[in-house]
């Protein structure tokens, strides 16, 4: 199975380039008859807001703040809600391999990938856990609905001390899926809050960075290598 699984680490890419690359991987997985699983780990060259495939920009984030501060926005091919990407590690998992991920089951795929994230975090010195959340009404900051990704309920949230450490969203095609995830390395709460139209104090209560959870600075390559090792061990 190992030859069907690969990992790519990109240290810097632009927002549009990232989304086009990930969409290309999903198209490849959907069109090929051969099993394939790809993990891509990357970061962003500049602060960017990404929104889910079906979101409306004027309701997803503070467009005026982002425009004034030179923060571009892009649309993800995956679902979910607005994410502020800055000092972070982003992952994209694409697969059509039913031997690894249950075909057609969003819930079980989330569970398997949440387990991988927790194991990878552990290798990086972060004691994360999976929190199984009940369905709840999402936050609607400032009259906007729905709220950003990190404040919305999810099936299997990866958390630290009750605060969200990873924001993930998935898109399923007929034979394959793409799951995106955002792992902040550092968080500028006022900047993130302004971009997403959320009070910074509310973010602090609900969201945490990898460095804060570890109690020490966590670098992109350190976390990427830990996640890569866990992925290859679990899915090869």
Active site residue 236: no
In 10 A of CB 115, how many CB atoms? 15
Name, in order, each residue with C-beta under 8 angstroms of 82's C-beta and a sequence gap of 6 or more.
49, 50, 51, 52, 55, 60, 61, 148, 149, 196
Residue 147: left if φ>0, alpha if ψ -120 to 50, beta else—which one? Answer: beta
In 10 A of CB 206, how many CB atoms? 16
Query: Of 149, 157, 213, 223, which is the active-site residue?
Result: 149
Handedness of CA 111, 48, 60, 188 (dihedral sign): positive
Q: Catalogue the active-site residues.
A: 149
């Amino acid at each position: 199975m190992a030859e069907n699984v690969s990992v790519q680490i990109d240290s810097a890419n632009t927002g549009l380039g990232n989304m086009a690359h990930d969409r290309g991987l999903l198209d490849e997985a959907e069109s090929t008859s051969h099993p394939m699983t790809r993990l891509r780990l990357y970061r962003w060259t500049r602060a960017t807001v990404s929104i889910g495939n079906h979101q409306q920009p004027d309701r997803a984030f503070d467009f005026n703040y982002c425009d004034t501060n030179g923060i571009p926005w892009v649309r993800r091919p995956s679902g979910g809600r607005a994410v502020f990407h800055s000092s972070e590690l982003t992952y994209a998992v694409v697969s059509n391999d039913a031997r690894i991920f249950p075909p057609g089951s969003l819930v079980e795929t989330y569970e398997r990938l949440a387990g991988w994230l927790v194991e990878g975090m552990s290798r990086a010195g972060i004691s994360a856990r999976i929190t199984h959340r009940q369905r709840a009404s999402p936050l609607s900051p400032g009259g906007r609905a729905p709220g950003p990704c990190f404040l919305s309920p999810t099936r299997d949230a990866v958390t630290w001390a009750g605060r969200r450490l990873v924001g993930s969203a998935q898109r399923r095609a007929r034979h394959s899926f793409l799951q995106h995830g955002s792992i902040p390395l550092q968080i500028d709460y006022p900047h993130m809050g302004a971009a997403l139209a959320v009070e910074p104090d509310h973010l602090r209560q609900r969201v945490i960075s990898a460095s804060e959870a570890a109690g020490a600075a966590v670098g992109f390559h350190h976390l990427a290598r830990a996640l890569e090792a866990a992925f290859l061990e679990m899915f090869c």
